[in-house]
Structure 1
């Protein structure tokens, strides 16, 4: 069997993109709940940071979509060998969102 025959036309990268979508949605929901809870308990500055934190899941989703497009383009390229692009921007922004959620949860516990 030739390597080209083993290639699945984008199903794995598409499943990965769908998983990133679910992750970003979950992160956005957690940040939104934190906004609602913090709006009652803490000063407006913290709420402002939390609302700004809603942009992180959106940025994560945009980075995941961009990576999916690059990977799909490389995998479907007709030229012989394809090299997958490196990149970890979505992982970094998702991690920053999770850290922000942890810090905000700590503020709720302490306040």
Structure 2
């Protein structure tokens, strides 16, 4: 897959597919934040740009946490053969939910402000 991968634990590569899905999600979050900020900037001004910057920061957070989680999952699978050493994936999911909420509030402000 890339420099992060080591020995393959399973033929289906579930952990690798999940890591790629989170990478795509973070990219979509970043594009959505920039697009929403760009569309709302003429109407809302600086708050729209600040919201876009927060959305970009959340996308970066999701990228970092998802990469770290992949390393932990891959290490646990190759070392122990199971996921006993892995915590729940709450932080990337929470960041994704906050990003969706932020974009929704930005869209609401755009509609009400226009």
Question: Please, which of 45, 51, 54 is the counterpart of residue 52 of structure 1?
Answer: 54
Q: TM-score, with normalisation over the residues of structure 1? A: 0.83
- Cα RMSD, aligned residues only: 1.9
- The whole-number CA distance in structure 2 between the counterparts of 1:80 and 1:12 is 14
What 5-or-longer segments of structure 2 have no aligned partner?
A: 1-8
Q: 1:97 to 1:81 in 2, by over 3 A?
A: closer
CA distance in 2, matches of 1:16, 1:81: 16
Higher mean alpha-carbon deviation, 99-108 vs 8-17, is at 8-17
- Please, what TM-score do these two structures have when normalized by structure 2? 0.81
Where does the alignment leave 5 or more consecutive residues of structure 1 unmatched? 1-6
Larger radius of gyration between Structure 1 and Structure 2: 1
* 2:87 corresponding residue in structure 1: 86
Determine the structure 2 residue equivalent to 1:108. Answer: 110
CA distances 1:59-84 after superposition (whole Å, capped 9, x unpaired): 0111111111001000001x576514
Deviations 1:27-79 (A, max 9, x none): 111110111112211131342232232110110111111111001000001x5
